[in-house]
Amino acid sequence: MIVAGANGSGKSTMLKIIAGLLPSSEGKVTLPEGDARHTLGYSGLDLNVYPFLTAIEHVRMARDFRGTGENPDELLNRVGLTRAANQRAGEFSTGMRARLKLAIAVQAKPQVLLLDEPSASLDEAGRELVENIVNQQRQRGVCLIATNDPLERRLGSHVLELV
């Protein structure tokens, strides 16, 4: 599902509320049963990674926390970060950081995947990666993408327009 709307309409806020990163003033979020660390994945523009940790250390840490998930090397290969696996995230470009955040978001194969403008800083190959991730997510559960990008909007079967 695509969450669209003008700047300031609350697209990112809505995704953060669903992810449990912001409290809601009203209403209730119901997620699939189970530990949210496994059932929910989130990648957003203002989510930061640790500047002193390498890409591989990030995904290993996320797997240690969740106790499950894809093999770190395979995961980094999937998001195109194999060559930068041992590079510190602080030295990454914005696009590489976005790929790393995507890797962490999909690592546990979540039922609900929340992506806030996932292609915003990505190149053509990165856009294809997002498309692949969304296609895989369709078979697994739900994917909510907050965006106004016409190319990203094509990835959704439904559009929720916020006003």
Partner 1 sequence: MSSSWSKEILAVLRKEIQSEIRGKSGLLNSLLFSVVTVVTVSLSTFGHAISATFGAGMIWVALLFASAVALPRSFTLEEEQGTGDLLRLIARPHAVFWGKALYNLILILIVALVLGGLFLTLVTIKGDKPVVPWLFAVSLLGAGCALAGAVTLCGALVAQAANRSTLAGTISLPLLLPVLFLGVNGTRAGLGDGVLETGLTATVGLLCYGVASLAIGPYLFAEVWKH
Of 20 and 161, which CB lies nearer to partner 1 in the complex structure? 20
102, 43 Cβ separation under 8 angstroms: yes
Distances (CA, A) of 70 to 87, 96, 97, 110: 20, 19, 19, 11
Report, in Å, the least distance between residue 42 CB and partner 1.
6
Of 69 and 80, which CB lies nearer to partner 1 in the complex structure? 69
Contact set with partner 1 (CB under 8 A): 19-21, 23, 37, 40-42, 44, 46-53, 57, 61-62, 64-67, 88, 104
CA nearest to 110, candidates 144, 64, 61: 144
Report, in Å, the least distance between residue 154 CB and partner 1.
27
Report, in Å, the least distance between residue 1 CB and partner 1.
20
The β-bridge partners of 3 are 146, 160
Of 4 and 137, which CB lies nearer to partner 1 in the complex structure? 137
Report, in Å, the least distance between residue 109 CB and partner 1.
14
Burial (0-12, 13-18, 19+ Cβ within 10 Å), 34: exposed
Of 108 and 145, which CB lies nearer to partner 1 in the complex structure? 108
56, 72 Cβ separation under 8 angstroms: yes
